[in-house]
Homo-oligomer: A and B are copies of this chain.
Amino acid sequence: MATRTASSPDTSAHLLEVFKALANPVRLQVLQWLRDPEANFPVHEGIADPHEVGVCVSHIQGRLGLAQSTVSSYMAALERAGLVVSTRVGKWTHYRRDEERIAQFTAELGDVL
């Protein structure tokens, strides 16, 4: 008999943080865009390797059409939830998805849902 046990407090806290981050249409949209950066954003030439650092936040902001401060706090929320990683290269901050953490979230979700 396989009794299903409740998830640990850490797991639930992580799940909650991710749910909260994604329970906003804009942040969900950004994470989707970041699945295919080349298709959704211009390449930021000569600044950094896009495969390594991802997309410049100014491009994300441009595409969203929201205030710079809003986009900054949104990306911070995604990063706090472990869904993206930020890399600063000079004045430029880039964000890419953290596929490992996303896979971890998916695994945790399978244990809980």
Q: Give chain A's interface residues, CB within 8 Å of chain B.
A: 3-4, 6-7, 12, 15-16, 19-20, 22-23, 25, 28-29, 31-33, 35-36, 39, 102, 105-106, 109-110, 112-113
Contacts and interface: CB of A to CB of B under 8 A. Distances in A.
Contacts of A105: 113
Given A3-B39, A23-B23, A102 B106 contact: no
Q: Which of A6, A19, A25 has the most CB of B within 10 A?
A: A19
A22 B19 contact: yes
Given A19-B19, A102-B113, 13 more contacts: A6-B32, A6-B33, A12-B25, A15-B28, A16-B22, A19-B22, A19-B28, A28-B112, A31-B112, A31-B113, A105-B113, A106-B109, A106-B110
